Amino acid sequence: MVEVEVTDTTVTVYVLGGHRLLALREQLTFDLADIKAVAPAPVDLRPPWVRAPGTFFPGVIAAGTYRGKGRKEFWDTTFGGQAIRLELAGPGFTRVVVDVVDPDAALETLSSAVAA
């Protein structure tokens, strides 16, 4: 699980508990203006095949940084239907897929912040 914090210009994703060890990251920060799309993540969505660094057990957990052709993604999900997907533009990550406690509330907060 992660906690998402939105300020006037930035979004910070805090990785919680033991997922810090699995994802090898405590937090991820990016500009609010870099968000192109916010949506629920489909349960069958999978990360790119190159994991660097992170953890992946098929159908159980994806946590960490993943790279694919022209993509750099951060994942922290257990594929249980609680994940949100952020499509990003900018110099860093191109996609963030993370589990949150309340996906509907997180989507509403992020969508409102992007629209403002």
Instruction: DSSP for 48-101, please give it.
Output: -SEEEEEEEETTTEEEEEEEETTEEEEEEE-SSS-EEEEEE-SSS-SEEEEE-S
Report how far residue 3's alpha carbon sits from residue 91's, in angstroms, rounded to the nearest whole number: 23
pLDDT tens by residue, 83-111: 999 999 978 999 999 999 999 999 999 99
pLDDT tens by residue, 11-27: 999 999 999 999 999 99
Report how far residue 98's alpha carbon sits from residue 96's, in angstroms, rounded to the nearest whole number: 6
Q: Please give the model's pTM, rounded to 2 decimal places.
A: 0.94
Residue 52 has pLDDT above 90, yes or no: no
pLDDT of residue 4: 95
Residue 82 has pLDDT above 90, yes or no: yes
Average pLDDT over residues 57-74: 93
Mean pLDDT, rounded, of the chain: 94
